[in-house]
């Protein structure tokens, strides 16, 4: 039956390929699809983790979240703000730096690329702890630099005016290298003849970028946009580490949806509600991905 999908190929080869892929498909079903389906199912129950007994409650969990749940509302607003700001900032920065590096033909470009990529390979928890120290009001490097300009100490994480932006800054630092690599690959994939032709026609740097590079980078931009949005909407460890302890960021000020899901499931043992929130998050990310896809694909794809 499934051979139907691969017309023109040798049947025996296709059978072998599918058989070889079966274990991976099996694992994918068990480790990916089944938990997602189970999450959908549990979202309609009052499952609590700690008690083996639970029952079907219909849409109750969804109605609670969408009607009067302050934590959900705050988390949703924070997550949207967080995802929007990080996505815009990180993509703009990554694109600009990569483009600048590509144009300048810097000698030690490998070293620069490694420096930018280094934060990506460092685990989130240790790097978040290091940043927590950098944000320290007394001994942190940020306040130390500000002191040269006569600016007093700032509680970067503790002060509600700065806490969200402090975490965003950390996240930009952490993700920048990853998106730079993506853009780098995209830029290298643009045939040199297009660039040369545009230059011969007298295109300025801005026009070259606007009318040649950006349109040719559309698939890469779409991929980066989707990835950054998903990463922004599902951020957890960065917020978790930054809110642990008495010197940490205030709870609700930086609470995101994934953090709220964690709190509901593992601190309050309201796993039914947590699953409902996870389903809502899934739908939001799915919806945004579809919209972004349509927007970016609008017009010609090269």
Q: Which is nearer to other proteins, 189 or 245 (CB)?
A: 245
Structure tokens at 286: 């799915």
Structure tokens at 147: 């002191």
Q: Which residues contact 22 (CB under 8 A, 6 or more apart)?
A: none
Query: Residues 263 to 292: which contact other proteins by CB under 8 A?
Result: 263, 266-270
- According to the binding rule CB under 8 A, does residue 51 interact with other proteins? yes
First to last CA, the chain: 35
- According to the binding rule CB under 8 A, does residue 244 interact with other proteins? yes
- According to the binding rule CB under 8 A, does residue 253 interact with other proteins? yes
Alpha-carbon distance of 228 to 99, in angstroms, equals: 19
Cβ 37 to other proteins shortest distance, Å: 20
Return the exposure string of 80-111: e unless at least 16 CB atoms fall within 10 Å of the residue's CB, then b.
bebbebbbebbbebbbebbbebbeeeeeeeee
Binding segment (CB under 8 A) for other proteins, from list 17-25, 84-92, 150-158, 168-176 = 150-158
Q: Which is nearer to other proteins, 10 or 51 (CB)?
A: 51
Q: Which of 85, 154, 172, 230 binds other proteins (CB under 8 A)?
A: 154
Alpha-carbon distance of 261 to 255, in angstroms, equals: 10
Q: Which is nearer to other proteins, 60 or 292 (CB)?
A: 60
Please state, as a whole number, how many other Cβ atoms lie within 10 Å of the Cβ of residue 288.
19
Residue with tokens 């950054």: 228
Cβ 202 to other proteins shortest distance, Å: 55
- According to the binding rule CB under 8 A, does residue 71 interact with other proteins? yes
- According to the binding rule CB under 8 A, does residue 138 interact with other proteins? yes
Give me the residues that bind other proteins (CB under 8 A), please: 49-52, 70-71, 136-138, 150, 152-155, 157-160, 243-253, 255, 263, 266-270
């Amino acid at each position: 039956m499934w051979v139907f999908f691969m017309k023109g190929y040798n049947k025996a080869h296709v059978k072998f390929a599918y058989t070889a892929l079966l274990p991976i498909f099996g694992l994918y079903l068990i480790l990916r699809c089944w938990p997602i389906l189970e999450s959908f199912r549990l979202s309609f129950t009052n499952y609590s983790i700690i008690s083996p007994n639970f029952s079907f409650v219909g849409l109750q969990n969804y109605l609670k979240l969408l009607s009067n749940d302050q934590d959900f509302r705050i988390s949703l607003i924070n997550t949207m703000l967080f995802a929007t700001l990080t996505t815009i900032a990180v993509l703009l920065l990554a694109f600009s730096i990569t483009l600048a590096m590509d144009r300048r033909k810097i000698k030690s470009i490998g070293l620069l690329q490694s420096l930018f990529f280094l934060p990506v390979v460092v685990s989130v928890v240790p790097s978040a702890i290091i940043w927590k120290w950098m944000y320290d009001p007394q001994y942190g490097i940020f306040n130390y630099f500000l002191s040269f300009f006569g600016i007093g100490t700032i509680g970067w994480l503790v002060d509600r005016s700065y806490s969200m932006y402090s975490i965003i800054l950390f996240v930009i630092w952490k993700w920048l290298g990853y998106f730079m690599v993506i853009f780098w690959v995209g830029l290298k994939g643009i045939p040199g003849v297009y660039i040369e032709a545009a230059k011969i026609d007298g295109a300025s740097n801005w026009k070259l970028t606007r009318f040649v590079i950006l349109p040719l980078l559309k698939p890469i931009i779409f991929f980066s946009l989707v990835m950054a949005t998903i990463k922004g909407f599902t951020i957890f460890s960065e917020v978790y580490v930054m809110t642990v302890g008495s010197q940490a960021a205030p709870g609700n000020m930086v609470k995101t949806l994934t953090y709220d899901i964690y709190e509901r499931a593992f601190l309050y043992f309201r796993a039914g509600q947590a699953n409902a929130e996870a389903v809502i998050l899934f739908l939001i990310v799915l919806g945004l991905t579809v919209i972004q896809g349509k927007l970016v694909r609008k017009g010609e794809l090269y």
